[in-house]
């Protein structure tokens, strides 16, 4: 999480503290100049005695000396404060990304979806293999094709970038500011919605072939792996919701533009899910596996399609089915994991090494 706004405020506070005395000295200088002019003009009027003129104008010499000292001290204080400000900015503030003041009204709820690593870990513990989603069957809807349908308004063309026309500098900046940048090395970027104040790509939405990543100043980055879920986005003004939770709040995009863009994403989800179901019903084992994995809210139907794919020899489906059955039916789980491991599925091979399967391994004589 980045709270870079605090840094700039600290720098400005230090600058103000050091320069305030110098600024006060400049005010004193201006006051002394005004006083000298006023006294000189007053003593030049007719009727003013000789000694009054001498006394008052002698005092002006002291005023001028004070003014000179104040000017020198004030200028020195301001210059010193400016140098200190620039030094801190160069060595400390420059390296921070997105130096902007966090806005309280943009802070999202504390309960946020899991980060990419946590999502992958939780999925792996359930047996789902990410590799199974990277392969598309012929005719299966692809997000890259839907992204090309986005037509930004004239005012948004500087902020909406669609592959292959994503500026290299902005893309590098966007990836570098994300918390999952290491995982993006093998990702193919599809779209960048630049919500940064300075058009640098650091904040906004980055869409790849695996993830939707939202990143905003002072807010923890939020990532969705769209391969695992079919629920779409809901746009209300400049806020974006998914699964009933606010996941993003844009500053530089109009609500109408956001609705059009996320409407294209929702169209993709609907078409893809319909294609999966139609193909699964026709017996396509890959579609059965993907449909089963996307039905996270319907365990009964998910298990139905997972078993269908496993029975057709889908290695990942076999491993997932075995993993899910480990606690309820370890003997059947061992058989499915064995079939998956025999096809080279490393996840199933690791699961079979567990002590809970020792008795079944000795009973069947199956070794991988």
pLDDT at 4: 38
**96 or 280: which leads in pLDDT:** 280
Task: Provide the token pair at 21.
Answer: 């005395």
On the CB side of 238, CA atoms within 13 Å amount to: 10
Angle at the Cα of 280 from the Cα atoms of 279 and 285, rounded to 5 degrees: 105
Alpha helix (H) ranges present in the chain? 5-43, 50-88, 116-126, 143-147, 168-176, 255-281, 285-294, 299-311, 315-325, 330-342, 346-352, 358-364
Sheet of 211-216, strand order: 160-162, 189-194, 204-208, 211-216, 219-225
Model confidence at 185: pLDDT above 80: no
The listed CATH number (1.25.40.10, 3.40.50.300, 1.10.3720.10, 1.10.150.120) that belongs to domain 283-364: 1.25.40.10
pLDDT at 107: 36
CA nearest neighbour of 320 among 296, 138, 297: 296
C-alpha 116/C-alpha 174 separation (Å) is 16
C-alpha 169/C-alpha 35 separation (Å) is 57
- Give residue 111's Cα distance to chain centre: 16
Model confidence at 363: pLDDT above 80: no
CA distances from 284 to 231, 242, 262, 279, 311 (A): 23, 29, 29, 5, 12
pLDDT at 258: 95
Tell me which of 34-48, 92-106, 123-137 is least confident: 92-106
C-alpha 221/C-alpha 315 separation (Å) is 34
**34 or 119: which leads in pLDDT:** 34
Q: Which helix (H) or strand (E) holds 241?
A: strand 239-242
Q: Which range in 18-22, 69-73, 102-106, 309-313 is most confidently predicted, on average pLDDT? A: 309-313
Contact between residue 336 and residue 312 where contact means Cβ atoms under 8 Å apart: no
With 0-12 CB in 10 A as exposed, 13-18 as middle and 19+ as buried, what is 67? buried
CA distances from 295 to 231, 286, 300 (A): 10, 14, 9
Compute φ and ψ for 195, nearest 5 degrees: -100, 15
Task: Provide the token pair at 329.
Answer: 């039916």
CA distances from 328 to 40, 264, 313 (A): 102, 41, 22
Any idea where the domains of the chain sit in the sequence? 5-93, 112-124+136-275, 283-364
Contact between residue 66 and residue 59 where contact means Cβ atoms under 8 Å apart: no
**For the segment 46-104, what is each residue's pLDDT rounded down to a tens digit?**
776 777 767 676 676 776 777 677 666 666 666 666 676 666 555 544 433 322 222 32
Residue with tokens 């997000």: 143
Contact between residue 314 and residue 296 where contact means Cβ atoms under 8 Å apart: no
**154 or 116: which leads in pLDDT:** 154
Sheet of 233-236, strand order: 233-236, 239-242, 245-249
Contact between residue 214 and residue 222 where contact means Cβ atoms under 8 Å apart: yes
Strands 233-236 and 219-225: unpaired
pLDDT at 1: 33
């Amino acid at each position: 999480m980045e709270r870079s706004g605090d840094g700039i405020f600290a720098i400005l506070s230090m600058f103000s503290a050091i320069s305030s005395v110098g600024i006060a000295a400049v005010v004193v200088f201006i006051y002394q100049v005004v006083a000298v002019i006023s006294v000189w003009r007053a003593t030049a009027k007719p009727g003013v005695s000789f000694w009054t003129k001498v006394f008052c104008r002698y005092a002006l010499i002291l005023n001028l000396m004070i003014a000179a000292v104040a000017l020198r001290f004030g200028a020195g204080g301001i210059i010193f404060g400016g140098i200190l400000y620039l030094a801190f900015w160069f060595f400390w503030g420059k390296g921070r990304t997105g130096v902007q003041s966090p806005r309280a009204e943009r802070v999202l709820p504390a309960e946020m979806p899991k980060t990419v690593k946590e999502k992958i870990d939780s999925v792996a513990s359930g047996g789902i293999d990410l590799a199974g989603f990277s392969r598309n069957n012929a005719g299966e809807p692809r997000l890259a094709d839907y992204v090309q349908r986005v037509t930004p308004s004239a005012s948004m063309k500087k902020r909406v970038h669609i592959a292959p026309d994503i500026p290299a500098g902005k893309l590098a900046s966007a990836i570098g500011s994300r918390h999952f940048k290491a995982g993006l090395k093998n990702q193919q970027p599809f779209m960048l919605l630049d919500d940064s104040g300075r058009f640098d790509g650091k904040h906004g939405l980055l869409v790849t072939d695996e993830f939707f990543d939202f990143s905003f100043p002072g807010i923890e980055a939020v990532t969705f792996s769209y391969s695992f879920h079919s629920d779409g986005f809901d746009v209300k003004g400049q806020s974006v919701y998914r699964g009933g939770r606010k996941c993003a709040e844009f500053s530089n995009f109009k609500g109408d533009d956001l609705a059009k863009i996320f409407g294209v994403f929702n169209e993709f989800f609907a078409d893809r899910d319909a294609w999966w179901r139609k193909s699964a019903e026709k017996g396509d084992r890959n579609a059965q596996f993907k449909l089963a994995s996307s039905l996270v809210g319907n365990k009964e139907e998910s298990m139905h399609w997972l078993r269908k794919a496993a029975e057709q020899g889908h290695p990942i489906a076999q491993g997932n089915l075995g993993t899910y059955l480990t606690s309820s039916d370890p003997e059947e789980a061992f058989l499915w994991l064995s079939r998956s491991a025999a096809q080279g599925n490393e996840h199933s091979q690791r699961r079979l090494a567990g002590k809970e399967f020792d008795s079944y391994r000795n009973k069947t004589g199956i070794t991988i």
